Amino acid sequence: MKMDLHSVLIQPLLTEKITAMREANNTVSFLVHPDANRVQIKQAVEALLKVKVARVNVLNVRGKVKRLGRFSGKRSDWKKAFVKLKEGEKLELYESA
């Protein structure tokens, strides 16, 4: 499936655990389109953010079932991508946050 590079990456993820991964392993994380694959994610990061990518790991996150009284609902499923950058590369996107 042909997908526009701008629609592959939805938003960067910033948590304490991901910040520790970024400092230790030069790995950043993104919320990505559910239909995107590793190749499309790598191409989007390299083209849009102008960095070299060493590896991409993808994780499908299942939405939790939540209740409010007797009513139950489900949060949306989503996809997370961990992108390991090559040696010497860094993102200015995370430096200002």
Tell me the average pLDDT across 51-76: 97
pLDDT bin (cut points 50, 70, 90) of residue 97 is low
- Give the pTM: 0.88
Tokens representing residue 32 in the block: 């990505």
The tens digit of pLDDT for each residue in 15-47 reads: 999 999 999 999 999 999 999 999 999 999 999
Q: Where are the domains of the chain?
A: 5-95
Tokens representing residue 40 in the block: 């499309």
The tens digit of pLDDT for each residue in 72-83 reads: 999 999 999 999
Distance CA 29, CA 31 (A): 7
CATH C-level class of 5-95: alpha beta
Comparing 46 with 97, the larger pLDDT belongs to 46
Distance CA 66, CA 58 (A): 25
